[in-house]
């Protein structure tokens, strides 16, 4: 039996809405999925940027605080066995030797026999010798001599004795020649009980063994933990 034409058209009409609803449903799902993907991507971007700007929580090693000024100690100005005074270092030798030998020893230590440049320095030396002299006659060579020309007193650095800084003992120098025909061309100093107005210099034979006073400049340096 052949169906009427109308029935066929009616069936086609009934089936069209179903396909349309299915396509619309799929399109909506895709839109939602795209939106969710976009939101997820945006969220990931925000999280990444926040992680870049967020300060690191890693514990950094702590350094010791800088020392206060009071914790610094000055480097020693003089070596062991040397005494510091007025920018110079002094060594009062225990061995006795001639003036020339005494000078050689001082030079081997990086200095020379002492040159007295001021009344203050003479005061310091005269006071210290009272402590280190064992006997009244136990005197010390200093770096003053008239070996090159009698009566023209020169320090070991070649400078002429300053007339304002002479500390000769009473009636000295006298160039006494009874024990040494060459005379007394070198200077020693020291008075066990102290000397009036610091005058404790004596000219004496350069060959006689005496103790001596070596001198050299203090070591230069800044306050620091390690001295160089």
Q: CA-to-CA distance for 108 and 129, rounded, in angstroms?
A: 23
Q: Is the pLDDT of residue 1 over 50?
A: no
> Which residue did the predictor score with more confidence, 68 or 109?
109
Residues 96 and 170 in one domain: yes
Does residue 62 sit within a domain? no
pLDDT level of residue 202 (50, 70, 90 thresholds): very high
The predicted structure's pLDDT at residue 76? 78
Q: Are residues 149 and 199 in the same domain?
A: yes
At 106 the pLDDT is 98
228 part of a folded domain: no
What Rg, from alpha-carbon coordinates, does the chain have?
Answer: 51
106/179 same-domain check: yes
Please say whether the dihedral angle defined by the alpha carbons of residues 138, 92, 170 and 184, taken in this order, is positive or negative.
positive
pLDDT at 4 over 80: no
In a domain, 222, yes or no: no
Q: Are residues 118 and 20 in the same domain?
A: no
The answer to whether position 97 is within a domain reads: yes
Q: Is the pTM of this model over 0.85?
A: no
Residue 212 CA to residue 125 CA, distance in Å, equals: 11
Q: What is the mean pLDDT of residues 175-195?
A: 93
* Number of domains observed in the structure of the chain: 2
20 and 126 part of one domain: no
Helical ranges in the chain per DSSP H: 5-53, 99-108, 119-132
* Same domain, yes or no: 96 and 202: yes
Residue 67 in this model has a pLDDT that exceeds 70:
no
Note down the domain range covering 178. 79-217
Least-confidence region, from 7-11, 115-119, 220-224: 7-11
Q: In the prediction, which pLDDT does 13 show?
A: 47
Is 132 inside a domain boundary?
yes
Q: What percentage of residues in the chain have a pLDDT greater than 70?
A: 73
Q: Verify that 93 and 160 share a domain, yes or no.
A: yes
* Same domain? 38 vs 91: no
**Residue 130: strand, helix, or coil:** helix
Specify the pLDDT at position 173: 96
| Same domain for 148 and 47 | no
Q: Annotate 8-27 with b (16+ C-beta within 10 A) or e (fewer).
A: eeeeeeeeeeeeeeeeeeee
The mean pLDDT of 99-116, rounded to a whole number, is 98
Asked if 132 and 94 sit in the same domain, the reply is yes
| Tokens 């990444």 -> residue | 48
> Is 173 inside a domain boundary?
yes
Tell me, yes or no, whether 137 and 212 share the same domain: yes
Q: What does 162-199 look like in DSSP terms, one character per residue?
A: PGGG--BPTT------SS-TT---EEEE--TT--GGG-
Domain for residue 11, yes or no?
no
- Is position 202 within any domain? yes
Instruction: Using pLDDT thresholds of 50, 70 and 90, give the confidence band for residue 164.
Output: very high
Same domain (yes/no): 91, 155: yes
């Amino acid at each position: 039996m052949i169906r009427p034409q109308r029935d066929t058209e009616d069936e086609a009409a009934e089936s069209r809405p179903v396909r349309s609803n299915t396509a619309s449903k799929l399109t909506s799902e895709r839109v939602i999925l795209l939106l969710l993907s976009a939101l997820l991507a945006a969220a990931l971007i925000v999280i990444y940027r926040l992680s870049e700007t967020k300060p690191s929580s890693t514990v950094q090693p702590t350094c010791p605080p800088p020392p206060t000024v009071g914790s610094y100690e000055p480097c020693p100005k003089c070596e062991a066995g040397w005494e510091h005074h007025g920018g110079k270092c002094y060594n009062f030798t225990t061995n006795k030797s001639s003036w020339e030998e005494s000078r050689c020893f001082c030079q081997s230590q990086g200095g020379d026999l002492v040159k007295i440049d001021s009344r203050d320095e003479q005061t310091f030396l005269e006071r210290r010798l009272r402590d280190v002299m064992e006997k009244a006659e136990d005197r010390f060579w200093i770096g003053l001599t008239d070996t090159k020309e009698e009566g023209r007193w020169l320090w070991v650095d070649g400078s002429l004795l300053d007339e304002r800084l002479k500390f000769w003992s009473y009636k000295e120098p006298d160039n006494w020649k009874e024990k040494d025909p060459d005379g007394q061309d070198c200077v020693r100093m020291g008075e066990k009980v102290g000397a009036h107005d610091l005058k404790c210099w004596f000219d004496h034979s350069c060959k006689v063994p005496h103790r001596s006073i070596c001198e050299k400049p203090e070591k230069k340096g800044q306050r620091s933990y390690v001295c160089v």
